[in-house]
């Protein structure tokens, strides 16, 4: 599992932490914990006085303490969006009124819009830099201006720097200049200690004393205190700094790779990237990544709907390959029947007519769908024979095939049912496909595959029919042939049957199902998403 959804240090516990844990003296666990040694270590690390530090049970407790204090002081929280979800959650829990400042269209913070709300008494401004979930940083000039404006009206400013180590910059030096500034830091991200829940609030004594009086006296466990204290020592700090440089480099490299392929990725100074996508596309990417054990964060909030936030691992190869495949195919592979061509009055009708002609009872549409969903019936001759066998009719395959083809192709006396086939793609879809490299992979014989292609007025780079492979779907032989001939790796397979989905999964292609009435079977067979019809494909491209 590559857990990239909570911005944790996904590589695991750093070596210094493992060594410290092994050396912990468990004989003192009977005592109540004392956080003072940790606060001394934090103060030394940041060049502060001990009285300027309050160790908290994760950054979340720091947020809770400050918002509780704001409630007592009858303040309102001024919150630029998008923002870390715990601010709204904690405000609601404490019944604290929130003045939300909508972000810009590009999801950047609208800091100009923040000024007016803080130019009134009874406010608490919460800023995050690098921002979560976008990774945006606030410039020093912007920060000083906002803190100055807030101070003029007696308003405190909380600056959340949970991701500051990855940005390589901090506003710690402003604590001496501004008595209304409170900074939040965390040991969860860069140090990899999220499971211990350790954070801290930094600021002038007048604020820290009030917050300290509100905090539980034993809010941190002894192991948490000892581990976080070890994180403040030179060896751990050096390791952390090297790790952050590695992640920052991997982050920038992955973002550049995505930008070069034409994808929008917000600039970030955190240990993550945010990709703005449509909700349908975000669902597809998220489900495809899960196949490889990669878990990312999908947002549903209004200002972030469709966005994916991806924590950056030190080795991005697996993530990069899977992400690029999920975002855009090098080759789009399209099934024909039920996808490009409506065959309900042709192939489906031929199945029924053949069964009746051979002495069987006409099967229902549901029976056809259920049999196809059981797999292995990618051509309708085999399907027809199987349905006859279920009715106790043992008929030779060639006899079934020849009679079926008579109904389909027609004769001098009777026009074939093939004439009732209808093209599904609209003109808009055809134009969208024309801008994409695509092929057709169908269980039809070649002559019928070419006829279907002509009916739809399509120009694929290649057609793979049942005549071009030894093994039909769900065997992926046709997809492997396309990958080799077209010299591509990233494939998307679009089909309406469980066999299409299984073939796609066999070669790590994105599996896109067609047919909402068959959604459960397609998802069970491995579809990454299911569309109503081929004309909805544009949402994903």
Same-domain status, 530 and 431: yes
**Segments forming the whole domain that contains residue 295:** 241-327
Residue ending a domain, among 270, 294, 327, is 327
* DSSP character at residue 410: B
Residue ending a domain, among 191, 217, 237, is 237
Same-domain status, 157 and 280: no
Same-domain status, 140 and 46: yes
Same-domain status, 67 and 144: yes
Give the orientation angle of helix 397-409 with respect to helix 380-390, to 10 degrees: 120
Residue 214 lies in a domain: yes
Average pLDDT, the chain: 95
Same-domain status, 59 and 29: yes
Same-domain status, 345 and 380: yes
Is the per-residue pLDDT at 476 higher than 80? yes
Residue ending a domain, among 390, 420, 450, is 420
CATH number at residue 71: 3.40.640.10
Is the per-residue pLDDT at 210 higher than 80? yes
DSSP for 48-82 reads: --GGGEEEESHHHHHHHHHHHHHHHTT-EEEEESS
What per-residue confidence (pLDDT) applies to 436? 96
What are 9's two structure tokens?
A: 């240090």
- Give 253-277 pLDDT, tens digit per residue: 999 999 999 999 999 999 999 999 9
What per-residue confidence (pLDDT) applies to 452? 96
Same-domain status, 267 and 225: no
What per-residue confidence (pLDDT) applies to 35? 97
What's the whole-number mean pLDDT along residues 111-119?
97
Is the per-residue pLDDT at 247 higher than 90? yes
Residue 5 lies in a domain: no
CATH number at residue 454: 3.40.50.1000
- Give 36-81 pLDDT, tens digit per residue: 999 999 999 999 999 999 999 999 999 999 999 999 999 999 999 9
- Give 306-357 pLDDT, tens digit per residue: 999 999 999 999 999 999 999 999 999 999 999 999 988 888 888 998 999 8
Give 272's contacts (C-beta < 8 A, 6+ positions apart): 4, 7, 132, 133, 135, 251, 309, 310, 311, 312
What per-residue confidence (pLDDT) applies to 522? 96
CATH number at residue 265: 3.90.1150.10
CA dist 369 and 58 (Å) reads: 53
Same-domain status, 366 and 274: no
What's the whole-number mean pLDDT along residues 90-94?
98
- Give 2-33 pLDDT, tens digit per residue: 999 999 999 988 999 999 988 888 888 899 99
Is the per-residue pLDDT at 278 higher than 80? yes
Q: 283 pLDDT band (50/70/90 cuts)?
A: very high
What per-residue confidence (pLDDT) applies to 382? 87
Distance set, CA 122 to CA 63, 118, 152, 201 (Å): 18, 8, 12, 21
What per-residue confidence (pLDDT) applies to 327? 97
- Give 376-423 pLDDT, tens digit per residue: 777 788 888 889 888 888 988 889 988 888 888 888 778 888 888 999
Count of structural domains, the chain: 4
* DSSP character at residue 195: G
Same-domain status, 349 and 432: no
Residue 4 lies in a domain: no
404 or 486: which leads in pLDDT = 486
Q: 139 pLDDT band (50/70/90 cuts)?
A: very high
Same-domain status, 312 and 461: no
Work out the number of other CB atoms within 10 angstroms of the CB of residue 27: 7
Distance set, CA 505 to CA 195, 443, 533 (Å): 35, 18, 20
Q: Which of 266, 254, 325 is nearest to 490 (CA)?
A: 325
Same-domain status, 159 and 214: yes
Residue 171 lies in a domain: yes
What per-residue confidence (pLDDT) applies to 386? 87
Q: 512 pLDDT band (50/70/90 cuts)?
A: very high
Q: What is the 3 state secondary structure string of 140-166?
A: HHHHHHHHHHHHHCCCCEEEECCCHHH
Q: Which of 339, 356, 414, 408 is nearest to 380 (CA)?
A: 408
What per-residue confidence (pLDDT) applies to 408? 86
164 backbone φψ class: left, alpha, beta (φ>0; ψ -120 to 50)? alpha
Same-domain status, 95 and 139: yes
């Amino acid at each position: 599992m590559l857990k990239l959804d909570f911005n944790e240090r996904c590589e695991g516990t750093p070596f210094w932490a493992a060594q410290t844990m092994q050396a912990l003296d468990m004989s003192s666990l009977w005592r109540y914990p004392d956080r003072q040694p940790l606060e001394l270590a934090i103060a030394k690390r940041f060049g502060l006085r001990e009285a300027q530090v309050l160790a908290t049970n994760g950054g979340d407790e720091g947020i809770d303490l400050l918002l509780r204090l704001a409630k007592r002081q009858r303040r309102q929280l001024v919150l630029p969006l998008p923002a870390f979800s715990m601010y709204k959650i904690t405000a609601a829990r404490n019944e604290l009124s929130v003045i939300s400042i909508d972000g810009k269209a590009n999801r950047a913070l609208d800091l100009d819009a923040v000024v007016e709300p803080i130019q009134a008494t009874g406010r608490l401004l919460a800023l995050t830099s690098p921002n979560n979930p976008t990774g945006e940083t606030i410039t020093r000039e912007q920060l000083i201006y906002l803190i100055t404006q807030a101070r003029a009206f007696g308003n405190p400013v909380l600056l959340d720097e949970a991701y500051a180590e990855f940005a390589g910059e901090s506003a710690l030096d402003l604590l001496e200049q501004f008595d209304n500034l409170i900074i939040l830091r965390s040991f969860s991200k860069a140090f990899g200690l999220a499971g211990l829940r350790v954070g801290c609030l930094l600021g002038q004594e007048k604020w820290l004393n009030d917050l300290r009086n509100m905090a539980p006296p034993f809010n941190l466990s002894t192991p948490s205190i000892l581990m976080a204290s070890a994180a403040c020592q030179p060896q751990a700090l050096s390791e952390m700094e090297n790790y952050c440089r590695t992640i920052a480099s991997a982050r920038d490299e992955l973002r550049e790779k995505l930008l070069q392929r034409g994808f929008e990725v917000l600039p970030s100074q955190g240990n993550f990237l945010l990709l703005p996508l449509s909700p349908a596309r975000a669902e597809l990417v998220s489900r495809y990544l899960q196949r490889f054990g990669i878990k990312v964060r999908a947002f549903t909030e209004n200002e972030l709907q469709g966005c994916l936030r991806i924590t950056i691992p030190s080795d991005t190869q697996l993530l990069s390959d899977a992400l690029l495949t999920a975002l855009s195919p090098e080759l789009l592979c399209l099934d024909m029947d039920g996808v490009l061509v409506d065959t309900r009055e042709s192939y489906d009708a031929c199945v029924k007519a053949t069964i009746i002609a051979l002495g069987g009872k006409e099967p229902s549409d549901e029976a056809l769908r259920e049999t196809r969903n059981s797999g292995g019936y990618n051509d309708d001759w085999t399907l027809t024979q199987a349905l006859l066998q279920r009715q106790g009719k043992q008929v030779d395959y060639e006899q079934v095939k020849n009679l079926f083809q008579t109904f389909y192709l027609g004769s001098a006396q009777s026009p074939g049912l093939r004439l009732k086939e209808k093209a599904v793609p609209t003109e808009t879809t055809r134009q969208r496909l024309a801008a994409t490299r695509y092929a057709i992979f169908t269980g039809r014989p070649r002559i019928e595959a070419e006829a279907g292609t002509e009916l739809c007025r399509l120009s694929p780079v290649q057609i793979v029919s049942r005549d071009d492979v030894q093994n039909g779907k769900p065997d992926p032989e046709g997809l492997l042939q396309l990958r080799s001939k077209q010299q591509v790796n990233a494939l998307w397979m679009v089909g309406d049957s469980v066999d299409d989905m299984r073939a796609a999964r066999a070669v790590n292609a994105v599996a896109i199902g067609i047919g909402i009435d068959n959604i459960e079977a397609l998802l069970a067979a491995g579809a990454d998403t299911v569309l109503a019809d081929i004309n909805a494909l544009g949402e994903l491209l």
